[in-house]
Structure 1
Amino acid sequence: MRREAPVVVVGAGVAGLTTAVVLAEAGASVHVIAEQVPGATSLAAGAMWGSYLVEPKDKVDQWGQRSLEVFRELAEDPSTGVRLTSGIEASRTAEAPPDWARTLPGFRPCEQDELPAGFSAGYRFTVPLIDMPIYLAYLLRRLDAAGGTVERRRLASLADADPAAVIVNCTGLGAQELVLDHDVRPIRGQHVVVTNPGLTEFFSEDTGLSPDLLCLYPHGDTVVLGGTAIDGEGDLAPDDKAATGILARCAEVEPHLAEARFLEHRIGARPTRATVRVEAERQEDGTVVVHNYGHGGAGVTLSWGCADEAQRLVGEG
């Protein structure tokens, strides 16, 4: 797949960096251009593998399963920031578990005495947890080892990415301006990072469409607590009121968190569409653009599967 002109990947969130790694390791000359390296929204993710309100379901299932395979392999190396972790997803309304959860190792319904007060049902399973700052740094090292290059620069248009054999658009919300996609919108997410009082298992609540999420993701000495999902908001400034609510919800489930020390806010804007966009498009000047964006809250979950599909489309271009 190696060409004289590079394949230019625009965007350095988890979608862009994963796609760049897949392309570079397949033999392409890859150049990443992004204003932020790595992307702020990906840095803010929790992150746990699992489909989160994304379509189309058939492709999402395929992309997610491919990513799960890769994350299981990466979990064998602690330096990746990925590890397999047991925990519970619970519901206050006795919701049935999602299909993807039933396929995971250790899946079983919880006994009532395993659940916090106020929860009526839950299920236990083992799933990849990803410490995003460590993981994104790992992807950058892997890209560098494969010969890829990175440039920090804001593009006014995709034409500014020339010279390029193919452009891969992994800009997330940037697609609103760069390709005039008005179907992509932000869903603001906020997490709070605190010192770990000794937690080793994750906990998450199935909150449906509520803007108030509840999740605990332990990463060694720290715990990422969540969260929020404010549809239509892309402001990345910390919201102290939201942070107070997150801490209160999480401490209700795990009282030891009430004494944990606050470390930082993590805020991102999930790039959300009715359907994830992974497709090729030939522009008027003949340049092939492969789109890979609109993953909402499932960017990590779909990253390797979507990168594989983007690579296939680049090869056809």
Structure 2
Amino acid sequence: MNTFSSDEVIVVGGGVIGLTTAVVLAERGLRVRVWTRDPAERTTSAVAGALWWPYHIEPMASARAWALRSLEVYEKLAERPEATGVRLVEGVQGETDLAEIEGWTGGRLAGLRRATAGEYGAGTGIWARVPLIDMAVQLPWLRERLLRAGGSVEERTVTDLAEADAPVVVNCTGLGARELVPDASVRPVRGQLVVVENPGIDTWLVSTGTGGEPAYLFPQPGRLLLGGTAQDDDWSLEPDPAVAEGIVRRCAALRPEVAGARILEHRVGLRPARPAVRLERERLPDGRTVVHHYGHGGAGVTVAWGCAEEAAGLVIPAASS
């Protein structure tokens, strides 16, 4: 029979949800190990456009509460953008109602207003200043913060949650939960983007054109991210040249200077969508506890801190029992 220290926790999954949850737990005094199949730099989180905005996530009421708590954290992290990768950047969210946004944000977004025709000529949009996160900096920073708090990260593939030798296991495997749990309700929503040299764009823009295809431009240090797609049940991780061409075309229609920008990279990620985020505690067959924390769709970065704190509220009573 295995014997464990009651304050041991294994977090399975090393993307933004797994690392953020691990940080919260470690900083609350638990002994945390992260088991991840891939290093953070090769997870879906590394491909994220990473604009703070709830997207493709349910239930929306919970997502908005998690997002507002995360906003508080990101605003503090934005005081050290070189270290954390978090900046507060102005931009336009197209096809969005100002009254609705004011309603759920409760006045938390400074400078929120309707976009002018000069700022967004494709339709009705809102102007906002929100966190934009450089995941190439944020993910390593999260990992280092975890290590400073006494946690550890180990690269290993988990095929059964029973393999985790701790009294409490936190399942942050995202799309991997489809096979690991198994949970057939977790499905991929494929996102493709094009990384180009930035021709001088310093504001972000998200738009859904008349054809319903999304377009976004996110300026990051040294590059500009162009997107995107939301292809349900598409498992392909290979960039599609025709899709890339369409992304550049849609973005250039919004900002013509993009048309001649040199392409640096093509990226693809699979968002872990689910009818609702699964955030709940259950017993493993051997009597140990698993806290499921997956299914965040396209909003993992947006809700990470609020969701991690709620997950910690499920973990800590189990760890102390």
Coarse TM-score class (shorter-chain normalised): over 0.9
Equivalent in the alignment of 1:124: 127
The 2-side partners of 1:125 and 1:101 are apart by 12
Instruction: Judge which range, 103-112 or 24-33, deviates more.
Output: 103-112
SS at match of 2:118: helix
Equivalent in the alignment of 1:247: 248
The 2-side partners of 1:115 and 1:57 are apart by 26
Q: In structure 1, list runs of 5 or more residues that go unmatched.
A: none
SS at match of 1:286: coil
Equivalent in the alignment of 2:150: 147
Q: Are residues 1:273 and 2:278 paired?
A: no
Tell me if structure 1 keeps the 8 A contact 2:115–2:124.
yes
Tell me if structure 2 keeps the 8 A contact 1:279–1:290.
yes
The 2-side partners of 1:209 and 1:280 are apart by 42
The 2-side partners of 1:209 and 1:102 are apart by 32
> Residues 221-265 of structure 1, C-alpha deviation per residue, up to 9 Å, x if partnerless?
211111000001122111111111111111111111112111111
Equivalent in the alignment of 2:179: 177
Q: Are residues 1:300 and 2:301 paired?
A: yes
Q: In structure 2, list runs of 5 or more residues that go unmatched.
A: none
Return the offset for 1:111. Answer: 2.3
Return the offset for 1:53. Answer: 3.0
TM-score after normalising by structure 1 = 0.93
Instruction: Judge which range, 123-132 or 255-264, deviates more.
Output: 255-264
The 2-side partners of 1:283 and 1:101 are apart by 38
When residues 176 and 18 of structure 1 are mapped into structure 2, their CA distance, relative to the original with a 3 A threshold, is same
Q: Are residues 1:66 and 2:69 paired?
A: yes
1:50 to 47, 53, 76: 53
* Residue type of the alignment partner of 2:155: R
Return the offset for 1:57. Answer: 2.5
Equivalent in the alignment of 1:186: 188
Equivalent in the alignment of 1:256: 257
- Give the % identical residues: 49
Equivalent in the alignment of 2:162: 159
1:114 to 109, 112, 119: 119
The 2-side partners of 1:150 and 1:220 are apart by 27
SS at match of 1:295: coil
The 2-side partners of 1:14 and 1:107 are apart by 27
* Residue type of the alignment partner of 1:55: E
2:91 to 79, 87, 90: 87
SS at match of 2:294: strand
Equivalent in the alignment of 1:19: 21
> Residues 150-185 of structure 1, C-alpha deviation per residue, up to 9 Å, x if partnerless?
111111111112x11200000001111111111110
The 2-side partners of 1:58 and 1:204 are apart by 22
SS at match of 2:170: strand
SS at match of 2:276: strand
Q: How many residues align?
A: 309
The 1-side partners of 2:113 and 2:156 are apart by 48
